[in-house]
Structure 1
Amino acid sequence: MAEVTDQQVEEPRGSVYRVAGALTITRAATTQREIDAMPDPLTIDLSEIERMDTVGAWLVYRTVRDRGAKVIGASRDEVSLLKQVGEFDVPTQVVPDEPHDFTAVLRELGEWIAETGATLVGLLGFLGATLIGFGNVIRRPKRFRVNAVVQRFDVVGVRALGIIGLMSFLIGIVIAQQGAVQLAQFGAEVYTINLIGRITVRELGVLMTAIMVAGRSGSAFAAQIGTMKITEEIDAMRTIGVSPIEALVLPRMMAAVLMMPLLAFWAMLTALLGGGIFVWLDLTIPPLTYIQRLQEVIPMTDLWIALIKAPVFGFIIALSGCFQGMLVQGNSEEVGSRTTTAVVQSIFLVIVLDAVFAVFFSSIGWV
């Protein structure tokens, strides 16, 4: 309990604040109000104090600093605590905000371009290392890890059938519903089948599959390899003469390349199924008519385009995920950062390549 005395004494001069008992955080607010009510010059008497924590020491130190108060009766431990509190009383330097002028914008833009260029160069270098690994496996087939590839088939392909099928089924329904609403204005609801067939087989089936695989498998590749980097398993593999590219990257890449066409075809079928159910129930178009119409409006070139793009997208997704995983350094926070970067990077590259494919196939007459 802190006791306040306004008694005027000869020595020390002025008002004296005597503390008896404990000066801790539980008494900080009350003690601060009592000290503020004392007139200057002020002397704080700690001769009867029993315990003082850092909050109480900071309160006493701040009173000495701001009001020039004197402290008497302090023991050696209390003096040491007051000194320690004072050592951390460093004035905060206010850093002025940099003006957001045109020069700052150019500097930030230049840094972003430099970082993008460095990432592109690193990705190309990793692609070269991967191709060398493929060459080594081709020259020495015994180094090919069949079990690892089959395991990745299960992770990338089989376990993804459910979510990709559900997503594509719902997308087919959405395309059919939106197309029917717009075409109904012109009395051309029957052309909803054309819309479902062409956009699903040629573009959305493989594109949405690639996005799902990037978010599901690409992120897993980056997280798995990144965790192995942190635990130094990859360094251990190099020490015993095992190539991380051949042991970790190639199985994941081959699984993504081989499973993407199958997943894309599965996505097309489920999307067409969803659209067919909608036009049957809403537009009263029989399923047999729907199937016959799809055969008429979907050229084989659309299917070939999708099946050509799918393995390329799978290769890019696996390449980006493994590359970002290999860049992990330091701690687990870096794993999360690189995993996010892998997903964003792979989706960006997939969309860019899809645009390139669209221009290429249009230029050769596959429209």
Structure 2
Amino acid sequence: MTRPYLTPSQSSPTDAATGLRIGGDWTLAHYSHLEPQVLALRERLAAETPVDLGELAALDTAGAALLLELLGSARLRQLAQQAELSAQRRALLLAVADAMAGSRQTQPPPAPSVLREVLGHIGEVVEGLWHQGRALLGFMGLTLASMLAIALRPTRWRLTSLAANLEQCGLNAVPIVALLTFLVGAVVAFLGATILAEFGASIYTVNLVAYSFLREFGVLLTAILMAGRTASAFTAQIGSMKANEEIDAIRTLGLSPVELLVLPRVFAMLIALPILTFIAMLSGMFGGALVCALSLDISPTMYLSILHDSDLLRHFLVGLLKAPIFAFLIALIGCLEGFKVSGSAQSVGEHTTSAVVQSIFVVILLDALAALFLMEMGW
């Protein structure tokens, strides 16, 4: 084994312009010895400096890479053609020079501007919303078609599953819905009394509480609670089944996952949410009545008399008619996100969060649009 060397052709080791002799074994075993010399000489080596490769003893790709680092791709290719080298070494030098030249020609893409990144992110979000909207509409059509398919076939109704889901999303939700709306009703009555007292119109606190809960707060608070409580449960249940390949097993048995898993949950929500909305309306007005009795000296009898004299039926129907629409969309979003689960626990968590966010967003958006429309129509 010949120790590699990298020396000037004349006596002065710093005068690289007089010529450079390269010889010995340029292999991986001597890489650590050669690399510091190559890095030190590379900056001082002029383009016109004569280089002699005739004394090379052994050469591998590591040594060829060092020569490339020292001489450059074009210079190394030129020397390989002119030097008295064997065919194998010449081929190796040319192959390394060509490969490294090709890799160095690939420039990294320029960094995008901040404005381009912001616009690109906005475009991705809009495209994602578009795809989610299309998926929701398609799933809605599939669910409605399945409803029509079993409407006249009572033997295909899943009454046991319907009862279980009705207990979960309806009966078990009564305490939290009643408590929350009671507290919100008390807060609304207290704030209304505080503001209206400045105008000597404290008596209209009763109308404020009644109108707000019958028309907006009752159905909106209930729908938001069900979106956070029930839509997430639907997603987690169906997503876990998807992760465990139970849905694939259902399809293998020739059963429809939509008919077996989605329809009982949708029907349960359609039944439960209007009932819970009615309970929320009563609880909210009861909370307002308690504040009126304690702070405004409005007795329960006077409270009921004011409610009786008010035109509340129209507001009650407006609020109650929103409930089935919200229930249908909340159940659809929860089930759809469950079917989107890819198979991991992380995916279950991500789609559960997405179901809650989408459900609350859709409920508030539709409620705002409905409020604007009904206000313009005078209803």
Gaps in structure 1 of 5+ consecutive residues = 1-66, 68-94
Distance 1:341 1:138 in 2: 31
The aligned counterpart of 2:354 is 341
Matched, 1:240 2:253: yes
In the alignment, residue 187 of structure 1 is paired with which amino acid?
G
- Is structure 2 residue 293 aligned with structure 1 residue 280? yes
Q: Structure 1 250/191 Cα, relative in aligned 2: closer, same or farther at 3 Å?
A: same
Three-state SS of the structure 2 residue aligned to 1:208 is: helix
Paired residue secondary structure (1:311): helix
Of 147, 171, 174, the residue aligned with 1:161 is: 174
Quote the residue 2:207 is aligned against: 194
Give the distance between the partners of 2:359 and 2:110, measured in 1 at CA: 35
Q: Partner of 1:205: helix, strand, or coil?
A: helix
Match in the other structure for 1:136:
149
1:225 is the counterpart of 2:225: no
Q: State the SS of the aligned residue for 2:173.
A: helix
Aligned amino acid, residue 323 of structure 1: L
SS of 1:103's equivalent in the other structure is helix
Does 1:299 find its partner at 2:319? no
Task: Tell me the residue number matched to 1:127.
Answer: 140
Query: Could you tell me which of 259, 262, 282 is aligned with 2:275?
Result: 262
Name the residue aligned to 1:174. 187
Give the aligned partner of residue 226 of structure 2: 213
Structure 1 letter corresponding to 2:162: V
Query: Please, which of 340, 346, 349 is the counterpart of residue 327 of structure 1?
Result: 340
Per-residue CA deviation, residues 140-193 of structure 1 (Å, 9 max, x unaligned), is 331111111111110111000000000000001000111111111112111111
Please name the residue that 1:21 is paired with. Answer: none
Q: Secondary structure at the match of 1:347?
A: helix
300 and 274 in structure 1: CA distance in 2 versus 1, 3 angstrom threshold: same
Note the C-alpha offset of 1:297: 2.6
- Tell me if the contact between 1:198 and 1:297 (Cα under 8 Å) persists in the aligned partners: no
What's the secondary structure of 2:342's corresponding residue? coil
Distance of 1:184 and 1:282 partners within structure 2? 11
Secondary structure of the structure 2 residue equivalent to 1:343: helix
User: Percent sequence identity over matched residues?
Assistant: 45
CA RMSD of aligned residues (A): 2.2
**Residue 373 of structure 2 corresponds to residue 360 of structure 1:** yes
Contact 1:237 1:243 in 2 (8 A): yes
Q: Quote the residue 1:317 is aligned against.
A: 330
Write the mapping of 1:51-90 to structure 2, written as runs, cut at 5 A: none
State TM-score, norm by structure 2.
0.70
TM-score, structure 1 as length reference: 0.72
Q: Contact between 1:149 and 1:251, CA under 8 Å: does it hold in 2?
A: yes
Deviations 1:241-274 (A, max 9, x none): 1111001000000010111110000000011111
Query: Which runs of 5 or more residues in structure 2 are unaligned?
Result: 1-35, 37-107
Q: CA deviation at 1:299?
A: 2.3
Larger Rg belongs to = 2
1:252 has 2:265 as partner: yes
- 1:112 corresponds in structure 2 to 125
Q: Where in structure 1 do 4 or more consecutive aligned residues deviate above 6 Å?
A: none
CA distance in structure 1 between the partners assigned to 2:237 and 2:298 by the alignment: 48
Contact 1:173 1:278 (C-alpha < 8 Å) held by counterparts: yes
Q: Secondary structure at the match of 2:282?
A: helix
Q: CA deviation at 1:230?
A: 0.2
Q: Which moved more, 1:292-301 or 1:126-135?
A: 292-301
